[in-house]
């Protein structure tokens, strides 16, 4: 096992992550884009620096990593990319505006990449429900959300 870390808002740092992973592990055939940023904003109070960071971490970095992953995948091998999205893609709310928009964009990106990289590389997304209660959420609201989940 190896840890390959980078600031995912820094595309120069992101660009060599696959190469560093290969140097530590050998050929990389699985990429899981699980990193996330979750900052509270609304359409009325968008922090544009936070907006840019959300889109860098949730959209640009996964796109660049997928591109480098596809380039590096050895001939004759198949690969898999898994993008972690969020239930807010299907159940949008006005809170966490930049987060929800960037995760929704990642969902669209997943679908496009699945078509573009098939059949050699499968691209899928997982959109779990709530895993932690938000700071503004009552216990009863969180419990109701969890009760609405198919998988528990």
CB-CB contact of 67 with 31 (8 Å): no
Residues 83, 87, 92: CA angle, nearest 5 degrees? 120
Of the candidates 49, 50, 39, 112, the one whose C-alpha atom is nearest the C-alpha of residue 81 is 112
Residue 11 tokens, joined: 């595309």
Residue 29 tokens, joined: 């055939």
CB-CB contact of 125 with 107 (8 Å): yes
Q: Residues in the chain, how many?
A: 152
CB-CB contact of 125 with 106 (8 Å): yes
**Catalytically annotated residue among 60, 96, 103, 152:** 103
Residues 106, 109, 112: CA angle, nearest 5 degrees? 155
**Catalytically annotated residue among 60, 96, 99, 152:** 99
- Please confirm, yes or no, whether 103 is among the known catalytic residues: yes
- Please confirm, yes or no, whether 60 is among the known catalytic residues: no
Catalytic positions: 99, 103
């Amino acid at each position: 096992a190896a840890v390959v870390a980078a600031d995912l808002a820094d595309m120069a740092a992101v660009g060599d992550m696959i190469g560093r992973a290969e140097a530590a592990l050998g050929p990389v055939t699985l990429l899981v884009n699980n990193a996330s940023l979750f900052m509270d904003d609304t359409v009325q109070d968008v922090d544009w620096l936070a907006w840019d960071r959300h889109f860098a971490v949730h959209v640009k970095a996964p796109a660049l990593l997928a591109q480098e992953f596809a380039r590096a995948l050895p001939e004759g091998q198949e690969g898999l990319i898994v993008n972690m999205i969020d239930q807010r893609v299907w159940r949008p709310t006005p809170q966490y505006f930049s987060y929800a928009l960037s995760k929704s964009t990642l969902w669209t990106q997943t679908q496009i990449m699945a078509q573009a990289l098939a059949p050699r590389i499968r691209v899928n997304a997982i959109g779990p429900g709530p895993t932690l209660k938000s700071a503004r959420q009552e216990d009863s609201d969180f419990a109701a959300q969890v009760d609405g989940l198919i998988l528990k």
